[in-house]
Chain A
Amino acid sequence: MEPISLTGTVLLLPLASALVIMLFHSLLKNVAHLVSTGVSIVMFGCALIFLGAADQPNGLLLYEYLKVGNFTADIGFVVDQQSRGMLFIVTFIGMLVHIYSLGYMKDDDARARYFGALSLFMFSMNGIVLADNLVMMFIFWELVGISSYLLIGHWFKKPEAADAAKKAFLTNRVGDFGFMAGILILFGLTGHVSLAQLQGSMESGALNHIKDHFPWVITLAGLGLFLGAMGKSAQAPLHVWLPDAMEGPTPVSALIHAATMVAAGVYMLVRVYFIIGASHVTGDIIAWIGGITALMAALMATQQGDIKKILAYSTLSQLGYMVMAVGLGGPKEGMFHLYTHAFFKAMLFLGSGAVIYACHHEQNIWKMGGLYKKMPVTFWTFAIGTAALMGVPLMAGFWSKEGILAVAYPAHGHGNGILFAIAVLTATLTAFYMTRLVIVAFFGKARSKDADHAHEAPLVMILPLVVLAFPSVLAGYHFLAEPLQALVPSHHEGPEAKIVMGCSLVAVIVGFLTATRLYKNVDKDPVNIPLFANKFYFDEFYAGLVKYAQDRFAWLVTALERIIVDGLTVRLPAALANGLGSWMRGLQSGSLQAYTFVLGLGIVVVVYLAVFFSTKP
């Protein structure tokens, strides 16, 4: 297949599926899920062929979206190692989640709507991955936001789900404010929005004058783009939407809020790395925000009781890792962790979905227990995912985490001692909270009736778990990573590498042993830290900000607008108004026919004048 028809298919097929399902919603009630799943399988096939496609640095044009004078913003595709690899991840996990959903959403009344939104998401996400310019990326960026809004709010009757959907979209909008500002500045500097042309201007020296004399402009543009990434990849302080987004169906959490959409921020940063890397200030800010997010989210995860919330905070923490790596000058390391993390985190979420399904929608780990005997496949796959996430040696997560620690190590180019310490501490905490989760949920005795009666999920749900177990172990090895077009960072050697590996190992062991000691055979949490359990009170702070700052301010502006603008411009012609007011009162009691007659007569006169009193020129 021609590259353009291949990428066109990957983009347009899910759009067609989404539109057809939404338009013929009631007709397709019983086949929509098959249409959507079929499309996801075809997309995966295309992505496999795409792995062999040749690089297209200047993009493949589908059509010109906007063209005014010399300015164009295309819908066009870039084909390189990043887009090929990312497309593989997105369509692979997308396909598995579609299949898994066939089981998980079997009895949902609005299954057709769910699968329609899933197709819309696949369309949007593929668009981000393939975008060859910033305007197109922004378009699909926001479309991902709306698909996520629809999927989080799938059970919209539940107030929590409806609120979570709104919160996710609005938090992302705040990020998009920065994204757009960044695009505008870059457009102002170069006159382009295409990534290839922007990179050309940056690297050819055309912007050297600005780099030397006005570096703040480039810093500002990079920070603007980063604000967009902070929204999508849920970096502090814009992280608050992601835990709430767990109100959506669990397969959605696996696909969107673990493996793909939230990774889009990191993907975008890697795409525009030539801008970020051009300014030290930008890089430092990004690295620190990533590091702080990683540590803070890990601390919050240690005190959660909801199985999905623990995984959500863990996702935040891992995204923080990736962002930190990019900020520290390691886009390859960040991308590599994105790639391994996608597999095992998707598997963990799908596993948690199987647990929730088996326990009749119980999500509290303190009401589970003893599940390992009842759900052996789920348990073993979950254990593999946990080991990968903790960074147990030889698992996928071990390699990519070590890469990030190596970038943070002070001896490395941009390395930083404090950030390295944060990264090691986060690794310890990760081992701690994941061990806690597994022990409490799967071991000990069943702490509720639902857990006691739990049984293994159906085959369509188990199958994706088993499939994902393989890359969770193997994705870190070159023989698998390279054919899948993952950016495998070069292996670090030498004495630092040994220190890094030592720290990483100690972190896993310490975290694991502490958690085992604390949580073996307990029925309630022996540790109680309100600050972590309450997520550092971010939500309360924002609620206050919205209520007292934004809404009070809106009230004040409204009052002033009424008093000043209205007062000045309405009182002024008040005298006139009095006269007219009495005329209006007359109008009320008058006959409608008379007024319309007068009106009609006036029009007839105009027409008469225009048509009959005219002379041909």
Chain B
Amino acid sequence: MSLLEIIILLPLLAALVTWLGAPARVTALAASLLNLVLVGWAFLNYQSLHGADGAMAFRHARTVLSSPHIQFAVGADGLSFTLALLTVLVTLAAVWSLVDKERIYYTSTLLIASGALGAFLCTDIFFLYAFHELALIPTFLMIALFGHGDKKDAAWRITIYLGVGSLILLAGLLGVVWYCSPEKGKLTFDLLALKPLAADAPYAKFAAANFFVLLVGFGTLVSLFPFHSWAAPAYAAAPTPIAMMHAGVLKKFGLYGLIRIALPLLPTGANTPWVQHALLYMLLGNILVMGFVTLHQRRLDGLLANSSVMHMGYIFLGLASGNALGQNGAVLLMFAHGISVALLFMLCGRLRNQLGTLEFDKLGGLAANAPFLSLVFGVGAFASIGLPGLANFAGEILIFLSTFQNFQASEGFTLLQVTTILSLWGVVISAVYMLRAYRKIFFGQPSAGHFMSDPSLLQRVPMFLLAAVLLVVGLYPSILLNIVQVSLAATGLK
């Protein structure tokens, strides 16, 4: 077995073993720690071997079907490794933060991890898609069975939305396989064998339509406006590790798919004006409409859930800019957002467990008795509103700069640039709701009857881990950016 196969199958195996009765916490922790070491080691190795060319490495393939050509093929470059690293980091934190939970929590967290790793590390479109679907099943089930509040509504909503979204996506992917297979009539799902559709291909119009289908399919998975209304209820209802894994990791699959499949293979589609304009309007919906919706939230879970939808708009803006600056910013922000939102959901879960309520009007003054918690929450909250020095800012500023790269004074502001200026106002809106929430929960006089204490040293580890990642990447973004940019360039993105 190849290294990447082990990385994908290790959590799957651990899930199976815990489900069969092995000591859940020990097994899950051991597996996720080992996986962090493996991914970290492979990443470092990759950097020294392919730091200059950014090529797909650690490749290994097992043919499953010869016509159409489907393989269980794995491989990774800077982009895949960045997301794999995100997955193992969040998985470790999610597993670690589980205390006194049934084994099903461990099993499902590990299953989602395995699915996400499979999706990010497979180079065959069939398996890439299948692994994502695999990770969705435990997500749906856990929300339906162990969710909070209106869990049934939330569960059917996410199931229907993502189910329909996945079907649309499947159609789009089949379209890509159809257009881009190198020999007509001989379909291949091998991502690395597919050829980008040339600009003068007779199917240019279809390519635009196909790109749009992919945008809607992948976009639904990433809660692109107006296909977003599953996300906030689902995250608010989801058990904490599920919210961490889905909002932090699995959701990034849609963006990964756009960068890995849609943009390089259908460049003409992506550059079609009506597609670009549609994307800009949709992402403005994420940033402005969802920004105001977030502003209206009165509970912490609703606020985090909606703000997570809002922030997807910035990543889409990076993709919409159509240049290297924006795409690199988008990847950096995917990573940063995943870490910060996982941290915030983890802390939110802790507040819910200890206080029994997440309503702002009933909370207050927690910083007095829980200084560590308020510090770490502050790191997550300020990271998510783009405070420099923390990871999210580095991604955001690259994205903003990218949209002005082709500014021509003689043409005035294009729609892309107007969108950016409006999105900058979204940064102000984010600060308003986050600081309001922080003020209400942590500052002021402690409210009666709601006592919160700092976690034990051992329970601080996962919080510290995620906060430290935000700080390190924020101070030195090149740690990821160097390798991501050569890989994106090697993918053939412009």
Contacts and interface: CB of A to CB of B under 8 A. Distances in A.
A166 B289 CA distance: 23
Majority secondary structure of chain B interface residues (helix, strand, loop or mixed): helix
B226 A603 contact: no
Contacts of B403: 184
**For A25, A73, A554, which residue has the most chain B Cβ atoms within 10 angstroms?**
A554
Given A606-B130, A615-B62, A188 B156 contact: no
B400 A68 contact: no
B427 A173 contact: yes
Nearest to B367: A156
Interface in A559-580: 561, 565-566, 568-570, 573, 576-577, 580
DSSP class of A's interface residues: helix, strand, loop or mixed?
helix
A112 B400 CA distance: 38
Interface in B55-86: 61-64, 71-72
A65 B228 CA distance: 34
B145 interface: yes
A573 B163 CA distance: 11
A138 interface: yes
A164 to B, nearest CB: 10
Contacts, number: 215
Contacts of A64: 478
Contacts of A63: 476
A557 interface: yes
A617 B293 contact: no
B126 to A, nearest CB: 10
B485 interface: yes
B401 A71 contact: yes
B478 A188 contact: no
A557 B482 CA distance: 41
Contacts of A183: 401
B107 A596 contact: yes
B382 interface: yes
B435 A166 contact: yes
Interface in B273-303: 289-290, 292-293, 295-296
A443 interface: no
Contacts of B410: 213-214
A94 interface: no
Interface string B436-447: 101100111110
Given A135-B397, A554-B292, A558-B293, A599 B439 contact: no
Contact of A146 (B64, B292, B367, B387): B387
Interface stretch (B134-142, B178-186, B198-206, B243-251): B134-142
Given A146-B382, A169-B435, A162 B62 contact: no
A580 B293 contact: no
B307 to A, nearest CB: 13
Contact of B424 (A138, A177, A569, A587): A177
A257 to B, nearest CB: 19
Interface in B101-139: 104, 107, 111, 127, 130, 134, 137-138
A536 interface: no
B239 to A, nearest CB: 14
A146 B296 CA distance: 24
Interface centre among B229, B388, B406 (most CB of A within 10 A): B388
B295 A550 contact: yes
Contacts of B476: 63, 65
A553 B229 contact: no
A65 B397 CA distance: 12
B152 interface: yes
B159 A580 contact: yes
Interface in A341-361: none
Nearest to B9: A607
B365 interface: yes
B144 interface: yes
Contacts of B401: 71, 183-184, 187, 193
Interface of A: 22, 25, 63-69, 71, 73, 113, 135, 138-140, 142-143, 146, 153, 156-157, 159, 162-163, 165-166, 169-170, 173-174, 176-177, 180-181, 183-185, 187-189, 191, 193, 210, 213-214, 217, 550-551, 553-555, 557-558, 561, 565-566, 568-570, 573, 576-577, 580-581, 584-585, 587-588, 592, 595-596, 599-600, 602-604, 606-607, 609-611, 613-617
